[in-house]
Amino acid sequence: MSDSHLQPSTAHVAVAALNQTVGDWKGNHDRILEAIQCTSAIGASLLVLPEMCIPGYSLGDRLPRRGTLERSWQALEQLRVHTAGLVVCVGLPISHRGVLFNAMAVVADTRIVGLVAKEHLATGDVEYESRWYSGWPHGRIESFLSPSEQEIPIGSLVFEASGLGRFALEICEDGWKGIRPGSRYALAGAEVLCNPSASWFTLGKHAARKRLVEQASLEDHCAYLYTSLLGCDATRLVFDGSTLIAADGRTLGEGRRFVFDAQVEIIDCVLDLDALRLARREEGSWRQQVLQAAEGELGPMPETIRIEGDFSSPDPVDSSNTNWWEPSEAPHPDPSLAWLETSGITRAIGHSDVPHLELELALSLALRDYTSKSRIRKLAIALSGGRDSAMTALLVHRMFRYEHPELDLPALDSLVGQRLVTAYLPTDHSGEATRLAAAGLADAIGATHHEINIQSAVTLHRELLEASIGRDLSWEKPIEDLALQNVQARLRGSMIWMLANLDQALLLSTSNKSEAAVGYTTMDGDTSGGLSPIADVPKSLVMLWLSWARTFHNYGCLDAIEALEPTAELRPPEQSQTDEDDLMPFEVLDTLLYQFVEKGQDPVAIFDTLWPSMKTRYQHNERAFANDIKRFVKMLCAAQWKRERFAISFRVSAFDLDPKTGFRFPAVQAPFTEELADLDAHVEALLQEK
């Protein structure tokens, strides 16, 4: 670049996270417009918006419909007229040569100057983009004919603008690949790389995402602008709304995540472009790669699109705290969550609090968005006095606290009482301790609570069936034991559904991930509900979160719940039923679940991987551990039909059991018969060697 005005010393840039909803054309338009107007007001010249933010990301099979494509382009045309003096990057689907592409439109001063299509499609795990889209071949540049008959360049493009310098885009998954499109753009002269994403939340992902952004900016000696969606745009996936701006390995700006009080979260920064150019000139390996790229050794080079107009910013670079050896203050464990402290919602956050807060915020935000976007006013929960229903109820309470931080405790209790109905539904097998635990929890959070004894209904069902089959049922017979347990759970489900219907409330299921894995749940009983908030939370994590929440949020009502062993209370009290006696220790079960599903290990490999850490727990009894592995695998296979019927849940972990988006396991299969026989033989061989 020879023109000095095309090599500005600084560039004022912004990124925005948006809480969009699939198909909400007016609402999505208004939120994008708000971000554009805010960018103009703060004096920034470049705005990067999330991937697919015009129609919403989680379109599913709504995506290829003609109306989706037409309305998306119409929205782009309506928005471009508001971009005077700005460069705005906005995401939408396009049809080119009869093929769908996930694209970003670059709009400059009311004109659509280029389209960049995603190269690396997110396919695998919950991703399914290759069902609809094609990935754009790197280096290809073509002409896109818009519905308004405008020819627009599409492909591997670098954009150059007076006052901004050179910038380019890599879309979400493109930034996670070993050979990134952005690195080639940087070698072609791009000083600012933009990553518009729809990156959903999982525990710990934000830290990895931040490392990626910093590393990419360091490797390419560039500024890296990252943004994603916020909230729940359809179902299942939760977006934390990450916004990051980094330069040469250092984070310059980081926005709030899990925002409840706004639909648009925007951050801006004045970039020191001269410093980036100096870093490039000083590094010999960078200069060498630039020459290799220019000679075509690294593949086809992108085309540079010159944008007319002047996008200069008079703002100076903030030179404070630029020396790493002179930090202005101690680093926060997670700056994106610091707003919780400054708003008075939480006390000071420590490093160990972050994972628990992330889990709580993700599920609370998902609950808020699912209910508000579905126009649901009230919720219902069957409280058992146990941990799972307690966590579900507390998440609802946290949702209201985050949504209404201005309320004092009496006002919050009043709101919860209007919006949440709970019920304890005992039989003769229920204990006083669980009744008091459920009542104490409901009282502590302000829920409208009922106690409805269903023993008469259980007795009537048993009497009717015994009269029909001509004999009495016995707890001593395993099949009859199962039927006698399940009838209680199903009648509880029927009663809480009736209560929910009367209040026009959405019934929340309280099943956890561990129960879903092995089928330790009664269909149409404790699985009843239209939404299952903690279905991706294993039991061991439920227990850890409750212990943390009891202290961090001062939920003293959890003392009574944590004092009880997890139990379904479906057998007579003298049998002292506990969940871990019925199954195995939850820590073991959840470890087996991780190895089998996430790591994809077969029984023998699971045994060899875990035995060194399990031998003390199993008192050096190899057969006992092998038997638990066998029981787990058989139960998991047998329970797939149940998982096919579970209510909608939210994805928050590295792997989930949702058969529609996560663990797509066959409902009919030989349950690893030969593999389990191999495990028996393997253990016997080990014992022979002793």
Tell me: the pLDDT tens digits for 205-239? Answer: 999 999 999 999 999 999 999 999 999 998 899 99
pLDDT at 330: 56
DSSP strand pairing (123-124 vs 127-128)? antiparallel
For domain 340-359+376-509+539-574, give the fold.
Rossmann fold (3.40.50)
Low-confidence ranges of the chain (pLDDT < 70): 1-6, 318-330
Closest of 336, 346, 342 to residue 555, by C-alpha? 346
pLDDT at 320: 52
- Residue 191 carries which side chain, given as an amino acid letter? E
Instruction: Assess contact for 168 and 114: CB atoms under 8 A.
Output: no
Instruction: Assess contact for 311 and 271: CB atoms under 8 A.
Output: no
End-to-end CA distance of the chain: 74
- Cβ neighbour number for residue 196 with a 10 Å cutoff: 29
Contact residues for 145 (Cβ-Cβ < 8 A; gap 6+): 151, 152
Instruction: Assess contact for 56 and 23: CB atoms under 8 A.
Output: yes
CA angle, 29 then 33 then 38, to 5°? 155
Q: Is 405 exposed, middle or buried (0-12, 13-18, 19+ CB in 10 A)?
A: middle
Q: What is the pLDDT of residues 165-195, one digit of tens each?
A: 999 999 999 999 888 999 999 999 999 999 9
Domains of the chain, residue spans = 4-312, 340-359+376-509+539-574
Closest of 273, 282, 298, 173 to residue 222, by C-alpha? 273
For domain 4-312, give the fold.
Nitrilase/N-carbamoyl-D-aminoacid amidohydrolase (3.60.110)
Q: Is 145 left (phi over 0), alpha (psi -120 to 50) or beta?
A: beta
Which helix (H) or strand (E) segment is 95 a member of? strand 87-96
Q: What whole-number distance in Å separates Cα of residue 76 and Cα of residue 87?
A: 13
